[in-house]
Structure 1
């Protein structure tokens, strides 16, 4: 089988495709990855065949990002989902993806949900396509609704075709009911550890708390205050803390770091989760999913995009607590401040002391382990598409009753 993969530039968008790329390579399938210029270094180091498409005009992208942090949450979502991904990125990537589909003739296109050009190109030559979810299904469906006006020029049925294509997700049904008729869930193999964590805490055996606000937040104006509040919240607690601040963060701007906290730009997530006791994060889908798959409780401090929804899903499932930033207003980008410090501290103490949160997280991890493997899912897609049979909806498991936190 020939499989073409397509992604926008962000690591959080490309990473969900990686297990499928690796599985296809291991099966002996032919693989081609198409991405924008800022993804080229990542694609080159992986070694699979790839092509580079276009990118939106820098001035237009900069104008969107400049407005992003000072407009209402609703307008920010429109800027990203419709104007950036739906309009600019689709137009920039379409020529390369049309050429790849026409010349390379894939049997199947697998894309991340914000990359629309590959689906447009696939539809134009009759190649089947499916999307590999980044976030919860309700988030992906909402983003498509926002992007719909920008996709209308590519055909009146384009959005309907996107809704009808198979939706592949690693999130379990009990916390992620899906509006997509062809939802197929899969089990993602645990990432291997690369090395044990160094002893950055002088032999301390206190519980380990992993603190991260992701790679995007580090470059936003709210970052400095957010990290400062989080550091004050965990400072002095009887815990070890590993803070990964991202390469976009000026660590020197964080101010004094408590003695129980060690700061790194980046550490492989699998290495941290293998020995952590709890995670404090922003609620990005990659961190949230990885933590739940490891059976660890969370304290989620959401800011934007899919983070508030992920935080609510975690809280409702009894796998952690949500601490919404109190700064700002419902119509502006939220911000952490001094008033949030005791709230974060209390939440961290609660998820470490109350075993029900770990029990909730482990229940979800057990549910994830029962899902079909990626190899099994690829076999199903091959049977559906390569043999010419129309894909059939699969019954979705009923969500389990959610325990009270």
Structure 2
């Protein structure tokens, strides 16, 4: 049996897919450990997991609300992911030395894992929880692309192996993409071995209380799920309010669950038309949902499409415009502009998606591609094969093995 170390950031959307893969590997008899923020991992990977604590910022709450586009990307890498790499590197080093993994599985943007692995000579695979990095989205922005290249090179010279030449965001051995090419479209060249495995949807912790009676009320109306994820609370107050207004204007034929972790709409409540809650059992809800309105976060989009649910997408920043473009390109949803979306525009998008059957048909087509890709089972198989190959080809003992 092999030993796998997962290196992840303190962001739920980056942890959930690989936690499903880790559970699959554990079920096959392999040993699994984690390196990352102990508080976040304690919430996300369950009691009893082996966790090597790493320092670093807990989340992205400090990011200015107004940042969009290139400014948001530079903040994300310059003020979050790069400092996270510096902070996590000592903890990841300890994890590798003490746990002795045969393979390190590194989140694509948590480059401390790649840097430490290459410095210590331990093979690693990349976990790509969003397909945006594969899209060549910076091809038309050479100065920004060069800025990011220089930043990653600087990290490598301080924390990794300066002689290495591959892009830190892609393992030279294996990159797992939690999507399919049917959604992402063709990828740009030069990323090494890439395998599309589809979404990895493992079990989530059950919620102590949720109003399933409200959800399952047999009133014949279509149900919308409205969410902006967990890191857009401050930016989303206006948008959520307009979504609620649009739903209320269509109360004869639809109602909505609104995820409101920041309390932008006031205290959680439920009336005939709208239920608001700080958190919801999203995966369980999606099988009952007719449409999802969201920020085009990769996990929300893939979870909706896994269930064949079409979308209204309002990207805010980061990878979201790329994912939104994928949704509209395959015909599985409609895009609205986040900053300009009022109740009338959101309502018109809802009407179009719910009244035109082509959107649901496209969502079901992507769902089939996801299910055929295999998810956590396929991903675990690729990691097993790589670990076996690397172990067979490695003569000296790994750190922690001897």
Range into which the TM-score falls when normalised by the shorter chain: 0.7 to 0.9
> 5 Å matches for 1:367-386?
367-386=369-388
1:199 to 2:210 alignment: no
Give the conservation status (yes or no) of the 8 Å contact 1:301–1:324. yes
Assess, with a 3 A threshold, how the Cα gap between structure 1 residues 8 and 192 changes in structure 2: closer, same or farther. Answer: closer
Gaps of 5+ in 2: 139-143, 394-402
Alignment-derived partner of residue 125 in structure 1: 120
Give the conservation status (yes or no) of the 8 Å contact 1:282–1:307. yes
Assess, with a 3 A threshold, how the Cα gap between structure 1 residues 139 and 304 changes in structure 2: closer, same or farther. Answer: farther
Alignment-derived partner of residue 179 in structure 2: 171
Residue among 209, 213, 225 paired with 2:238:
225
The alpha carbon displacement at 1:76 in A equals 1.7
For 1:44 and 1:360, the matched residues in 2 are separated by 33
Alignment-derived partner of residue 65 in structure 1: 62
- Secondary structure of the structure 1 residue equivalent to 2:289: coil
For 1:272 and 1:82, the matched residues in 2 are separated by 36
For 2:53 and 2:242, the matched residues in 1 are separated by 40
Assess, with a 3 A threshold, how the Cα gap between structure 1 residues 76 and 187 changes in structure 2: closer, same or farther. Answer: closer
Gaps of 5+ in 1: 326-334, 391-405
Residue among 163, 166, 170 paired with 1:160:
166
- 1:91-132: CA deviations, max 9, x gaps? 000001111112221000112111111111111121111111
RMSD of the alignment, in Å? Answer: 2.9
Alignment-derived partner of residue 141 in structure 2: none
Alignment-derived partner of residue 277 in structure 1: 290
For 2:39 and 2:25, the matched residues in 1 are separated by 24
The alpha carbon displacement at 1:141 in A equals 6.3
Residue among 305, 309, 334 paired with 1:296:
309
- Secondary structure of the structure 1 residue equivalent to 2:93: helix
For 1:313 and 1:116, the matched residues in 2 are separated by 26
The alpha carbon displacement at 1:385 in A equals 3.8
For 1:133 and 1:50, the matched residues in 2 are separated by 21
The alpha carbon displacement at 1:188 in A equals 4.2
The alpha carbon displacement at 1:135 in A equals 1.2
For 1:76 and 1:270, the matched residues in 2 are separated by 29
So what's the TM-score if we normalise by structure 1?
A: 0.82
- 1:266-289: CA deviations, max 9, x gaps? 111121111111111111111001
The alpha carbon displacement at 1:172 in A equals 1.1
So what's the TM-score if we normalise by structure 2?
A: 0.83
1:214 to 2:229 alignment: yes
For 2:325 and 2:68, the matched residues in 1 are separated by 20
- State how many pairs are aligned: 369
1:47 to 2:37 alignment: no
Give the conservation status (yes or no) of the 8 Å contact 1:210–1:243. yes
> 5 Å matches for 1:128-143?
128-138=123-133
Moved more, 3-12 or 96-105: 96-105
Give the conservation status (yes or no) of the 8 Å contact 1:109–1:127. yes
The alpha carbon displacement at 1:226 in A equals 1.3
The alpha carbon displacement at 1:37 in A equals 4.1
For 1:141 and 1:47, the matched residues in 2 are separated by 39
Assess, with a 3 A threshold, how the Cα gap between structure 1 residues 336 and 249 changes in structure 2: closer, same or farther. Answer: farther
1:5 to 2:6 alignment: yes
The alpha carbon displacement at 1:214 in A equals 1.2
Give the conservation status (yes or no) of the 8 Å contact 2:85–2:110. yes
Assess, with a 3 A threshold, how the Cα gap between structure 1 residues 141 and 7 changes in structure 2: closer, same or farther. Answer: farther
For 1:355 and 1:20, the matched residues in 2 are separated by 34
Structure scoring higher RCO (CA < 8 A, sep ≥ 6) equals 2
1:319 to 2:332 alignment: yes
The alpha carbon displacement at 1:383 in A equals 2.9
The alpha carbon displacement at 1:150 in A equals 2.8
Alignment-derived partner of residue 260 in structure 1: 273
- 1:343-395: CA deviations, max 9, x gaps? 110111111111100100000111112214533443333333433379xxxxx
For 2:238 and 2:137, the matched residues in 1 are separated by 30
The alpha carbon displacement at 1:148 in A equals 3.1
